[in-house]
Amino acid sequence: AKAMWPKSHLGTVIRCFTASSHACSEDSWFKSLFVRKVDPRKDAHANLLTKNEESNLYKIQFHNVKPECLDAYNKLCEDVLPTIHADKYYPCELVGTWNTWYGEQDQAVHLWRYRGGYPALTEVMNKLRQNKEFTAYRKERGKMLLSRRNQLLLEFSFWNEPVPREGPNIYELRSYQLRPGTMIEWGNYWARGIRHRQRNKEAVGGFFSQIGDLYMVHHLWAYEDLQSREETRNGAWHQEGWHEAVYYTVPLIQHMESRIMIPLKASPLQ
């Protein structure tokens, strides 16, 4: 004999099944908002995000200077750093050197590029140990500093490589501390989003850390002045797709910081 469901029970089952299916659908839709579109290959994040064919390594230095010594510190750097930059004996280039204008005060920021990666960095360090002028520079510099720190960086493949530019410009260094494990996701969204920030040629370079503070991203921008910065940033919101890049990357950030910087006379980025 066929089993018969009482109509009241059958109605309850149908309602429960419908509610359950609807809940599952909603749950699946909700979860889909947070699915990470990462590259499925099993490879180091650095290999997936950087320009492998160029093997450029960058070093960023943050020097906190005694307020009364800042002018003397700048003069010392302008005397020594360009000589290293121009000497082909050292496989490195001074990308830019700045003082922080807004942000952490009495601070100098230097960005170096080593063409050839870690071997080039090691070669430069070994050669500079034998350079008496540089040794004297470091000794004199040490008298002027309160603290210093550095990071080794790689550049994102979808950003411009920093090249010298004429001024006058101000520079903004925006630094993002990401949640561990989200670097690929950040790269996925910014690879599409960066095209919305190229109209005024404001994008200088984008980097992510390898040694030092990890899961750290630095974006370097150039503007004519603070008003130009405001207009350029506001203009990006009128471009289709920019809001999406912001919407999906903001949750990846643990901490962020902005510095407005003024280039020193010796900086290739003016």
The 8-class DSSP code of residue 173 comes to E
Asked if the structure places residue 108 within a domain, the reply is yes
Asked if the structure places residue 41 within a domain, the reply is no
- Burial readout 188-226 (b: 16 or more C-beta within 10 A, e: otherwise): bbbeebbebbeebebbbbbbbbbeeeebbbbbbbbbeee
Instruction: Classify 94 as helix, strand or coil.
Output: strand
Name the token pair of 263: 């280039």
Alpha-carbon span 118 to 112, nearest angstrom: 13
Asked if the structure places residue 51 within a domain, the reply is no
Res 17 pLDDT > 80: no
Q: What percent of the chain has pLDDT over 70?
A: 81
Asked if the structure places residue 35 within a domain, the reply is no
* CATH for 189: 3.30.70.100
Count of domains observed in the chain = 1
- Reported as a single tens digit per residue, the pLDDT across 233-265 is 998 898 888 888 899 999 999 999 999 999 999
Alpha-carbon span 130 to 125, nearest angstrom: 9
Mean pLDDT of 172-201: 92
Q: Write down the pTM of the prediction.
A: 0.82
Asked if the structure places residue 220 within a domain, the reply is yes
170 lies in which domain range? 57-263
Res 47 pLDDT > 60: yes
